[in-house]
Amino acid sequence: MSEQTTLVTGATGKSGRRVVSQLRAAGVPVRAAARHGEHPFDWTDRSTWDRALEGVRSVYLVPLDGTALVRPFVERAARHGVRRVVLASGRGIDDPHYAKDDSGILEGMLDGEAAVRESGLEWTISRPGWFAQNFSEGFFADAVRSGELRLPAGDGAASFVDAEDIAAVVVAALTGDGHAGQVYELSGPRALTLTEVAAAISGATGREVRYVPLSVEEHVAELVREGWSPADAAGFAEIVGPIRRGTDAYLSDGVQRALGRSPRSFAAFADATAAAGGWPG
């Protein structure tokens, strides 16, 4: 498979761009597809699908949240001769207590998983938990730079996984053998509270970052004062619900099974990010 062109959708995202980088480092021809990137691709514009799939034999599929577009895309991919697909899904999607979902994201993810399983292609599913990179380039990056993580997470913990490990699992599944039919749940090596996360970042950066626990009501009120709508503020507060409830604290063995090694620790991620200038003062 490594001699064939690989399509990476969501190629500018946290996992997608790392998959592109790791594939290219391994000498694998890559088509990096995104709405704004090397190869124009828009999930909502089906006229872009055929050009993205032309001559492709393997695909890393990062769905558009809240849609059920994986099924028609996979059907079209099969007609183009694609043989292997790795789907980005989510840890906890088969746990009804994991998170509240009023946006259709969970429904779309479940349909996407069913679609690849039923496609007749070689398939692998990646189910990562919380990305460590949410603290450097995602939801909480600005809060880290401000020195305070003010969040309604209580004293809950999560087993944050490094996006580099996620990408390494995806690359192994795209290019190697033995991964077909596997569902890889991905986590870091241990669960951390946000107090421990803040301490690790403080140690890596040499400046104080602290976690300030808020109630959901306090957090929503702060966001509304900053100009958020009440609905958006409540939705953002719910993002950390799985941490608050402890439903993402368990450990998964997907990195070990796929790569034959342990996942990278949050401390190692923080040290590398700080060394690369990821949290400018």
Per-residue pLDDT of the chain (281 residues; tens, 9 = 90+): 445 899 999 999 999 999 999 999 999 999 999 998 789 999 999 999 999 999 999 999 999 988 899 999 999 999 999 999 999 999 988 876 676 666 667 888 899 999 999 999 999 999 999 999 999 998 899 999 999 999 999 999 999 999 999 999 999 999 999 999 999 999 999 999 999 999 999 999 999 999 999 999 999 999 999 999 999 999 899 889 999 998 999 999 999 999 999 999 999 999 999 999 988 76
Q: How far apart are CA 59 and CA 52, in angstroms?
A: 10
pLDDT at position 192 is 98
For the chain, where are the E strands, in sequence order? 5-8, 30-34, 39-40, 56-61, 84-88, 122-128, 148-151, 157-158, 182-186, 192-193, 210-213
| The overall pTM is greater than 0.85 | yes
Q: Which helix or strand (DSSP H or E) is residue 251 part of?
A: none
What are the tokens at 110? 């479940």
Q: At CB < 8 A and 24+ separation, what contacts does 229-234 make? A: none
- The DSSP annotation for 167-224 comes to HHHHHHHHHSSS-TTEEEEE--SS-EEHHHHHHHHHHHHTS--EEEE--HHHHHHHHH
> Is residue 157 classed exposed, middle or buried when 0-12, 13-18 and 19+ CB atoms within 10 A define those classes?
buried
pLDDT at position 101 is 62
pLDDT at position 2 is 41
CA 80 from centre of chain: 27
Nearest CA to 69 out of 80, 57, 79, 77 is that of 77
What are the tokens at 123? 């398939």
pLDDT at position 36 is 86
pLDDT at position 72 is 97
Instruction: Check residue 29 and report its DSSP letter.
Output: -
CA 12 from centre of chain: 12
Furthest C-alpha separation in the chain: 54
pLDDT at position 103 is 60
Backbone φ and ψ for 57, nearest 5 degrees, come out as -115, -20
